C-alpha cells in the first residue's frame, strides 16, 4: 500500500468514525464541533485529490462560518437533542441503509482508485482543456479558464443561486432580527478575552490580504472569487465574534452589505452586455481587447472573479449579521 493510499484510507476511517459518533450523540454542542472536524478532514481529502479550490471553500464555510451559525442556533434553542422513540428512528435508519447500499452498488462501476487509465485521463476533452485552453485563454490555471470563460454562463447561474439563497435567508431572518436584543451576542461574544482580541487584531489584516491574494492569484493557482469571498466573510465573522457585533456593523454597515449583494451579479451581467455591445457574444472577453485577445481574457476573468467575490462575501457576512441579531426565543 502506497503512502498516498494509506493517508486516504486513514482520513476515510476518521470521517467514518466521526460520522458514527455524531449520529449517536445527544449533546449538540459537542456534535457541532465534531461536524467541524468532519469538514476539516474533508478539506484535507480535497487537497490530496488536487482540488485545492474546493478545499479552500470547505475549510472556510464548513469549518468556519457553518460552525459559528450552528453554535448560534444552539444558543437560541437547547443544547441537547430530545430522545427520539425507537419506532420513529427505524424509517430514518432504513432510508440511510438503502441510500448507502445504493451508493456502494453504484460505486462498483467506478474505475480503480488512482488508476492512470480512467476516462478522465484518456478522454479527448481532457487534452483540449489542458492544452488548447492555454492558447485560447492564456490562463495557466485550467480550472479558472473553465469556470470563468468556457462555462461562464454556468458560473453566472451559480451566482444567481447564491444571491437567491442569500436573499431568501435574509427575508426569513429579517422580521425576527432585533439588534437591540443581545441574547445571542452574550452567548458568543468573545470581547472580554484580551488574548483573543490582540491575536485576532493582528490576524485580521493577513486574513483580508490572503483573501485578496486568493482572488487575484486565481489565474495562476488555486483560488478565485468563490474562495476569496468566503475568506473575506470569515474574517468579518471573526471580527464580529471577538470585537462584538456592534463594532463589526460600524466597520461594515448592513446597508452597505445589502447593496453589495446584487452589485456582483450586476457587474457580471454588465460585463456580458458590454461584450455584446462591442460586437462579440455574451461574456466574450476577447472583445475587451481586440488587438490582444489574451489580455481581454485576463481582464474579463478578473472582473468576473471580483464580481463573484463581492457577492459571496456580502451574502455570507449579511447572513451572519442578521442571524446574530436575532432575539433569544427560549
Highest mean predicted confidence (pLDDT) among 56-60, 229-233, 292-296: 229-233
Please compute Rg for the chain using Cα positions.
23
- Cβ-contact 247, 197 below 8 angstroms: no
pLDDT-above-90 percentage for the chain? 25
- Cβ-contact 285, 275 below 8 angstroms: yes
Cell numbers standing for residue 230: 468566503
pLDDT digits (tens, 9 = 90+) for 50-99: 888 888 888 888 888 888 888 877 777 777 777 777 777 788 889 989 99
Q: State the number of CA atoms in the 13 A half-sphere of 69 facing the CB.
A: 19
Structure letter (DSSP) for residue 63: I
What is the rounded average pLDDT of the residues 215-243? 86
**Burial class of 232 by CB neighbour count within 10 A (0 to 12, 13 to 18, 19+):** buried
pLDDT digits (tens, 9 = 90+) for 86-98: 777 788 889 989 9
**Burial class of 231 by CB neighbour count within 10 A (0 to 12, 13 to 18, 19+):** buried
Q: Could you write out the DSSP letters of every residue in 144-159?
A: HHIIIIITHHHHHHHH
Q: Where residue 190 falls among pLDDT bands split at 50, 70, 90?
A: low
pTM of the entire structure?
0.81
Q: Is the pLDDT of residue 191 over 70?
A: no
Across the chain, mean pLDDT equals: 84
Spacing of C-alpha 61 from chain mean position: 5
The pLDDT score that the predictor gives to residue 328 is 46
Cell numbers standing for residue 213: 491574494
Amino acid at each position: 500500500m502506497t503512502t498516498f493510499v494509506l493517508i486516504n484510507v486513514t482520513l476515510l476511517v476518521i470521517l467514518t468514525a466521526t460520522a458514527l459518533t455524531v449520529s449517536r450523540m445527544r449533546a449538540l454542542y459537542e456534535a457541532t464541533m465534531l461536524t467541524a472536524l468532519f469538514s476539516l478532514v474533508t478539506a484535507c481529502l480535497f487537497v490530496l485529490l488536487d482540488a485545492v479550490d474546493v478545499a479552500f471553500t470547505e475549510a472556510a464555510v464548513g469549518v468556519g462560518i457553518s460552525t459559528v451559525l450552528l453554535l448560534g442556533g444552539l444558543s437560541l434553542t437547547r443544547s441537547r437533542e430530545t430522545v427520539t422513540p425507537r419506532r420513529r428512528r427505524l424509517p430514518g435508519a432504513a432510508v440511510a441503509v438503502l441510500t448507502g447500499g445504493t451508493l456502494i452498488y453504484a460505486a462498483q462501476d467506478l474505475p480503480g482508485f488512482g488508476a492512470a487509465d480512467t476516462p478522465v485521463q484518456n478522454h479527448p476533452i481532457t487534452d483540449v482543456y489542458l492544452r488548447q485552453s492555454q492558447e485560447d485563454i492564456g490562463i495557466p490555471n485550467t480550472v479558472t479558464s473553465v469556470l470563468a470563460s468556457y462555462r461562464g454562463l454556468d458560473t453566472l447561474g451559480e451566482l444567481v443561486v447564491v444571491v437567491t439563497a442569500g436573499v431568501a435567508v435574509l427575508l426569513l431572518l429579517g422580521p425576527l432580527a432585533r439588534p437591540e436584543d443581545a441574547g445571542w451576542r452574550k452567548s458568543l461574544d468573545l470581547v472580554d478575552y484580551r488574548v483573543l482580541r490582540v491575536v485576532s487584531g493582528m490576524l485580521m489584516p493577513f486574513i483580508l490580504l490572503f483573501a485578496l491574494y486568493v482572488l487575484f492569484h486565481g489565474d495562476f493557482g488555486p483560488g478565485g472569487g468563490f474562495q476569496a469571498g468566503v475568506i473575506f466573510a470569515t474574517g468579518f465573522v471573526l471580527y464580529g465574534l471577538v470585537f462584538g457585533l456592534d463594532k463589526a456593523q460600524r466597520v461594515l454597515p448592513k446597508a452597505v452589505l445589502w447593496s453589495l449583494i446584487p452589485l456582483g451579479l450586476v457587474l457580471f451581467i454588465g460585463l456580458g452586455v458590454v461584450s455584446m455591445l462591442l460586437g462579440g457574444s455574451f461574456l466574450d472577453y476577447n472583445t475587451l481587447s481586440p488587438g490582444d485577445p489574451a489580455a481581454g481574457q485576463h481582464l474579463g476573468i478578473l472582473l468576473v472573479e471580483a464580481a463573484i467575490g463581492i457577492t459571496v462575501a456580502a451574502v455570507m457576512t449579511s447572513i451572519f449579521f442578521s442571524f446574530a441579531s436575532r432575539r433569544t426565543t427560549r
